[in-house]
Structure 1
Amino acid sequence: MAEASTASADAVADMLADATDSLDPLTDAENAHVKNRARVGSARPSSLLYTYGPGAVMDLPNFAVMPAGLDDWDPIWKRREHVPTIIEPRLLDVVRMHLGRDVDSLRPYPWQPKRGGPSTEGTDLGVPARVFPQWFRCTGCDYLGPLPRFTYTNTHPFRPDLAQFTHESCPGRGKKSGGKGKRSNPAVPAQHLLTCTNGHLDEFPYALWVHKGRACPRAESPDLKMRDANVGGSVGSTIVCTQCSASRGMSEAQGRVGRDKLPQKCRGRHPHLGAFDADCDARPAIVLMGASNLWFASTQSVIVMPRDDKQQTAALADQMRAELGLEKVAKYQAHPDFLRDLLSAHIDLETVTDDELAAAAAKAMAGDSDEVRQDKLAGWDPIDLLVPEWAYLQQPALFAQQSNSTGLMVTERDRGAKLHPHVQRVVAVNKMKKVNAVLGFTRLDEMDRVNDLSSRLVKLTRNKRPRWVPATEDRGEGVFLQLDVDAVAAWETVVLASPLWAEHRQAHDRNFARRFSETAKNVDSATRFPAPRYWLLHTFSHALIREMAMYSGYGAASLSERIYGWPGSAERSAAAGLLICTTASDSEGTLGGLVALSQPERLQSLVSSALRRAARCSSDPVCAMRTPRDPEDFLHGAACHCCTFASETSCENANRFLDRRFMLTLATTTGARVPGFFGVTNGS
């Protein structure tokens, strides 16, 4: 087992390693190890949110760990006098809709301050994590074995990179056991794992693999070796049994044919929980430790906005539940004086009346039944989180009334005389605060990509109803641009009838049908295909990110997008806008270089330059004419790394749904053509 602590002022997650708790009764034997609480690694809160959260494999310099489920975090927080929480009712309501009404709060990652000061506060805090994978290969003799066969060392408290597992008395390659020259050699994790679409993850059964599902005829627990194939025509590693000399290459386990040779039933293992699910009906597949499809975070985020009286009551109700828990709120709901005494130590209630306190208590106790919650979840759309933000940005009269306590400060900007006429409004986001929460994760296929069955969302606790979820609070700045909604609607009508749009729709249907997820067939692909205005805004956003990175003082990977693009319906008005922002969870804000670009003279020049650069790509005419046709199923058109693609930290949709032909009428385009929304721009 390993423990990690996250995010102090410099946003570092420090890890402590031990190997004590038995995780798997069949393949793990960790209980012989002694706890070691020296640091072994670090990560920023944003990494723990999107890359290395509970259930992910975090690759350290010499071995890997897996952040544990939230059950193992609770003992750490219980050592503290007060548990910090992040209050954002709009986001917490969405979390409860997904995970149940028992979720009391959003909590930041526990952090551990740097050593050296007189205070010992927080020295026992961290994000608990387990050593995983737990099969290692000796770099000196190729011995392959479970964790207890190796020795953990980390003697330097300020050098976490020195933490490693070693193979003591390693005989080396080509030497007889017991010969001279034995020494300790470092061991590295065995890379192969088994996973399934239900989110389970397990060690690869090397002993069964090399013996083709049977026991070794000469030893009950044979010693294995993993030899790299650097010569000849074979690919990958070879597993060898030292007792019976059986050998088998790992290349046989790859692909569709190899999957038939793997165990046909998943054991249902959740290493981050130290638990097993019964009766998993998915077939396991082989995956490498560093594979990009091993862990997909399922997160939701909102921009914090000024709250009206109703929202203030909801915020107080959430604070009440976070501090006292639902049971105590129910116990003292009819006694405002008791509630005030219990809460006053951590909540400022000087301006809160008894009636307001009673209303907040009633709000805290209120909650939807599971049936109502499931109905809401079935009809929920992620756009629902964006609608209030769009509505607020449409009311400049409210900007002067904003409270700095919300972390949001926006200013309506004048349009430059030379700004493209289709850019209708510009809003400078001087300050903003974004709250992000983790709902769970998936493996092999991203939940947000297909949004198929909620049962695919892997739980964060052994209990199906968590009491809290991890969250981060980011602060930053940005620029909001709104396009002419009527002009977008008129342009969209033309695009919907075009052959190019039909090609994109058919490619999306093929892509959706071929997904690895065994549950994607339960979803109508048409409900996951964004409207043409989203393609337009998304492509325009990427062009702006590339241009803004050259003048804002921030790298392109530090800029991110938030697209407000949907047609009008009975439930919501039409939207056509985008927010380019930069945020950080480990600082008090940003430096103002991005919001300065919203000044009329600078913005009109920047937009003109961005459109001019996007009009021509170094890969044209190939890029400009790219259209997916059967059997192709890629989800972009005239877009590539040379002209439009952005880093994964910037793009909200993994560089999908991009086509420069929707933004501009490209001179090099032939065949399927559509009028570009911004018309013809000189790309020279």
Structure 2
Amino acid sequence: MTDTVAEVLPDYNDALDPLGDVEAGQAKNRAKVGSARPSSLLYTYGPGAIMDLPNFSVMPAGLDDWEPIWKRREVVPTILEPRLLNVVRLHLGPQVDALRPFPWQPKKGVLSNEGSDLGLPARVFPQWFRCTGCDYLGPLTRFTYTNTHPFRPDLAQFAHKPCPGRGGRGRRAGSPAVAAQHLLTCTNGHLDEFPYTLWVHRGATCPNAESPELKMRDANVGRSVGSTIICQACGTTRGMAEAQGSKGREKLPQTCRGRHPHLGAFYPGCRARPALIMMGASNLWFTSTQSIIIMPRSDAEKKEALGDQLRVEVGIDQIKQFGEQVPVIRALAAARNIDVTGLTDADIATAVAEVLAPPESDEAREERQANWDPIELLIPEWRYLQKPALFPEQQNNTGLMVTEMQRGPDLHRYVARVVGVNRMKRVNAVLGFTRLDEMDRVNDVASRLVTLTRTAKPTWVPATEDRGEGIFLQLDLDAVAKWEKTVEGSALWEAHRKAHRRNFARRFSETAKILDPDTRLPGPRYWLVHTFAHVLIREMAMYSGYGAASLTERIYAWNDASQRESAAGLLICTTASDSEGTLGGLVALAEPARLQTIVRTALRRATRCSSDPICAMRTPTDPEDFLHGAACHTCSFASETSCEKANRFLDRRFLLDLPTADGPTVPGFFGSSHGI
């Protein structure tokens, strides 16, 4: 925290950013404090999230702090995928020129040191701690960091030394300290420490001390809810339960300080009202990502990729200097392992012109972004899966290997095609994150997306490459279209539509613009394919050797609106972030005899639920606003890592004629269990 920023901050909590003061001009602790898989950094613990370690919590830092780590390498690795990079540029601006992996390097052996100088920088957050021995509550500077074992980062902790203990039983060796769990956040994504000193004194200062010592005591079971803050100087107490709810929000500071801890900076001028949030709350951090499955590139896409390669590997300065000398550009590209064989001088000149072309105006980009539909990322994949090669050995080197499989004689007639995805590679890119509300609940308002850099215009974003396998099933498109028309006029679909409207009215972000909630409701065919994917995930987990949480879905389900061909299919896949990928246990289930047994068994299991008849009859009625019908944890719900819609938009009645169903219902797409 610089002096310039400190001058504009309110004085209600002077020590909220202690490390920002004490670290100025001093060497920083670069010790390893933990580890995480790339997938968890992508979806759970990315920049701006709070990662729980055994003894304290840290927050992965923004991309500005990654640069010193990457400077330890002469060449920064990048992930080249133009189709995904264009989507990132659409959301973040044309200045984004690369997708970078996390700063990590595999080791050649157990005792080797490759990659030991790499890692994801993180800040300790929250920076207010409570002593477990005496209940002392204070900023991080009042505690001692200890970790005596260089190979045991899990032993790192903060301790209160010396600790007087409770009842005069002192512990001079010190007591472990834990993070204080109360925080303040706002709808603009800012996150701040809770102003405990101001809170306990009800907005005033302590009459007996300028910087009084505080204690936080947990309430006795059965007496009250929450913790109590005690001022040791004047004896004032106040419970944290008063800060909860809408009434409690009125007692909190009325202005947000605009703090982004992952950037180590404040942005004064935020007009949002702060709200209390607990450290482990599920709505503290929502990542915003986009992902694609890498497919063979057309000649046009290869030429487009060349421009991105030249921009990243050769650099803008050299392209500007030698742009008119195609042989020099060709030599520079070859020196950086860019394959330009087979490309004419005109192709290279076109790529250079693309790199040097003026960027698209913000107005034009925002207009394209407003009209952009995430389905556009899925359409090329759907089209490619329509005509896969018959022989895997004829595939290219893009990492995608698919095989058209024969249909078993007993496979349901509405499963039109089966494709075994022997190998696949998926690339995921991080755009930013939101707090309190997911991006799809704030009308994709760009201002609600918290930036990953201090400049608000990143030149690169983190990305991961996952390798794996899967099975693609395509439903009969004509049968789906006919069934969908029947469902759209049913009382059950109208009940789901009204529940979706009520859900938006009650839970829609307070920051969102007014929009028609029906535009965010997937059509009946999505509910059908989505429910089918869930019952298959449960059944395939019993045969594939993978846990159900390791299997994920990718749903292709949309009608022929907006001048695009309709789709109705699903990809069940498993991916891993390591170089070896997966072991083939899932794609082996695409064999005709095995798949028809799995599909038949999955559908038959879906006809019964141990919660029936309650589950089979579940239909939302006013004032209920849940976004599922005949589906629950017993029969249809999947883990958070498997479902792309958080277990919303599921109903077994769209899949089958349930024998216990009553009230509003529709013809099940696959009919009754007797015909399966």
Shorter-chain TM range is over 0.9
Shift of 1:569: 1.9
Distance 1:231 1:38, change over 3 A: same
Structure 2's unaligned 5+ residue stretches are: 2-8
Number of the residue aligned with 2:223 = 233
Shift of 1:608: 0.3
| 1:608 and 2:600 matched | yes
Distance 1:490 1:181, change over 3 A: closer
Listed one character per residue, the Cα deviations across residues 219-272 of structure 1 (whole Å, up to 9, x for unaligned) are 111100000112452111100000010111111111111111111211111000
Q: Distance in 1 between matches of 2:647 and 2:442?
A: 16
Match of 1:207 among 187, 197, 207: 197
- Contact 2:559–2:567 (CA<8 Å) still a contact in 1? yes
Q: Distance in 1 between matches of 2:568 and 2:523?
A: 11
Number of the residue aligned with 1:493 = 485
Match of 1:662 among 636, 654, 660: 654
Q: Distance in 2 between matches of 1:516 and 1:190?
A: 29
Shift of 1:401: 9.1
Number of the residue aligned with 1:619 = 611
Q: Distance in 1 between matches of 2:508 and 2:248?
A: 16
Shift of 1:167: 0.5
3-state SS, counterpart of residue 565 of structure 1: strand
3-state SS, counterpart of residue 235 of structure 1: coil
Number of the residue aligned with 2:298 = 308
Match of 1:365 among 356, 378, 391: 356
**Equivalent residues in 2 for 1:229-628 (5 A)?**
229-349=219-339, 351=341, 352-366=343-357, 367-396=359-388, 403-515=395-507, 517-628=509-620
Q: Distance in 1 between matches of 2:658 and 2:418?
A: 26
RMSD over aligned Cα atoms:
2.1
Q: Distance in 2 between matches of 1:120 and 1:341?
A: 34
Distance 1:388 1:335, change over 3 A: same
Q: Distance in 1 between matches of 2:69 and 2:662?
A: 62
Letter paired with 1:166: A
Number of the residue aligned with 2:31 = 38
3-state SS, counterpart of residue 492 of structure 1: helix
Letter paired with 2:535: A
Q: Distance in 2 between matches of 1:657 and 1:84?
A: 39
Shift of 1:350: 5.3
Listed one character per residue, the Cα deviations across residues 125-160 of structure 1 (whole Å, up to 9, x for unaligned) are 111111000000001100000010011111211101
Number of the residue aligned with 1:218 = 208
Greater displacement, 592-601 / 117-126: 117-126
3-state SS, counterpart of residue 211 of structure 2: coil
Listed one character per residue, the Cα deviations across residues 498-523 of structure 1 (whole Å, up to 9, x for unaligned) are 01101100111111111252123433
Number of the residue aligned with 2:6 = none
Number of the residue aligned with 1:111 = 104
Q: Distance in 1 between matches of 2:75 and 2:499?
A: 53
Shift of 1:339: 2.1
- Contact 2:293–2:425 (CA<8 Å) still a contact in 1? yes
Q: Equivalent pairs: percent with the same residue?
A: 70
Q: Distance in 1 between matches of 2:390 and 2:323?
A: 35
Q: Distance in 2 between matches of 1:94 and 1:165?
A: 43
Q: Distance in 2 between matches of 1:595 and 1:67?
A: 36
Match of 2:82 among 66, 84, 89: 89
Q: TM-score, normalised by structure 2?
A: 0.94
Q: Distance in 1 between matches of 2:108 and 2:204?
A: 52
| Count of paired positions | 660
Letter paired with 1:362: A
Shift of 1:379: 0.3
Structure 1's unaligned 5+ residue stretches are: 2-21
Number of the residue aligned with 1:671 = 663
Q: TM-score, normalised by structure 1?
A: 0.93
Number of the residue aligned with 1:19 = none
Greater displacement, 399-408 / 466-475: 399-408
Q: Distance in 2 between matches of 1:257 and 1:325?
A: 55
Letter paired with 2:335: A
- Contact 1:267–1:280 (CA<8 Å) still a contact in 2? yes
- Contact 2:554–2:570 (CA<8 Å) still a contact in 1? yes
Listed one character per residue, the Cα deviations across residues 422-450 of structure 1 (whole Å, up to 9, x for unaligned) are 10011110110000000000001111344
Distance 1:292 1:180, change over 3 A: closer
Greater displacement, 313-322 / 605-614: 313-322
Q: Distance in 2 between matches of 1:62 and 1:567?
A: 51
